[in-house]
Amino acid sequence: MGSRVSTPNPSGIARARKGRSNRPAMSTKSRQTIYGGAIMGARIRAESAREAAKKAIRAADRAEAEAWSIRMEGYGGPAQPSPTIAQSLNGGLGWMEIECNRCKTRASIPLDAIRRARDTSIWKLEGSFRCRSCGTRRYKPPVHMIKLTAEREITPYAWVHPDEDR
């Protein structure tokens, strides 16, 4: 029967063959196929390691703030070294309890309301607090820090006007 004889193409351009792609006969896998799974796995491991590091930093900040708080409450000091405002807030201890040196009035102050840089050490705040209840116009007695807490432990007193009946 008849054999197929290919006739030469006068243009010199290869003809498309039916049923075959135009790829070269010897091919390799794409880089996505080779490295895609490894890259995705590395990305997942990096995200989980980052989350674990955030939890570890939060736990370390809380432990440092609690140690300082227990030292201040139990021994009354030393106030240095102390955690920073950011470390206390990151550790979940967002309230500071202070006490007046004269009238012994206690108050809880939120650390996030303090207008200082977050990298300020807590012991540096003690000099800026003054007692409002027993202070005069000229002199407001200083206060000292008691401890750090997670929630407000001392509720503010309800102010009653002198003309109102209690």
pLDDT in tens, 6-58: 666 677 676 666 555 555 556 677 888 888 889 999 999 999 999 999 999 99
Residues in the chain: 166
What pLDDT band is residue 87 in, cutting at 50, 70 and 90? very high
Residue 19 lies in a domain: no
Residue 126 lies in a domain: yes
Q: What is the pLDDT of residue 159?
A: 58
- In degrees and rounded to multiples of 5, residue 135 shows phi and psi of -80, 155
Which distant-in-sequence residues (6+ apart) come within 8 Å of 121 by Cβ?
80, 81, 82, 83, 84
Structural domain total, the chain: 1
The more confidently predicted of residues 64 and 127 is: 64
Residue 154 lies in a domain: no
SS3 of residue 26 by DSSP:
coil
Q: What does the pLDDT average to over 130-159? A: 82
Residue 9 lies in a domain: no
Q: What does the pLDDT average to over 105-122? A: 91
Residue 81 lies in a domain: yes
Q: What is the pLDDT of residue 153?
A: 81
Distance CA 80, CA 75 (A): 13
Q: What is the pLDDT of residue 76?
A: 85
Apex CA 39: angle with CA 38 and CA 44, to 5°?
A: 95
Positive or negative, the CA dihedral 117, 115, 149, 54 is negative
Residue 163 lies in a domain: no
Residue 5 lies in a domain: no
- Among residues 51, 128, 114, which one has the least CA distance to residue 84? 114
Distance CA 99, CA 144 (A): 6
Q: Where are the alpha helices (DSSP H) in the chain?
A: 31-75, 85-91
pLDDT digits (tens, 9 = 90+) for 21-30: 555 556 677 8
Distance CA 146, CA 69 (A): 7
Q: What is the pLDDT of residue 88?
A: 94
- Among residues 68, 74, 43, which one has the least CA distance to residue 123? 68
Q: What is the pLDDT of residue 22?
A: 57
Q: What is the pLDDT of residue 28?
A: 74
Give the predicted TM-score (pTM) of the model: 0.67
Kindly give the pairing relationship between strand 106-110 and strand 143-149.
Answer: unpaired
Q: Is the pLDDT of residue 67 over 70?
A: yes
Q: What is the pLDDT of residue 15?
A: 65
Q: What is the pLDDT of residue 93?
A: 93
Average model confidence (pLDDT) for the chain?
A: 83
**The pair of three-digit structure tokens given for residue 150, joined into one six-digit string:** 């997670």
Can you give the residue range of the structural domain that contains 82?
53-149
Residue 129 lies in a domain: yes
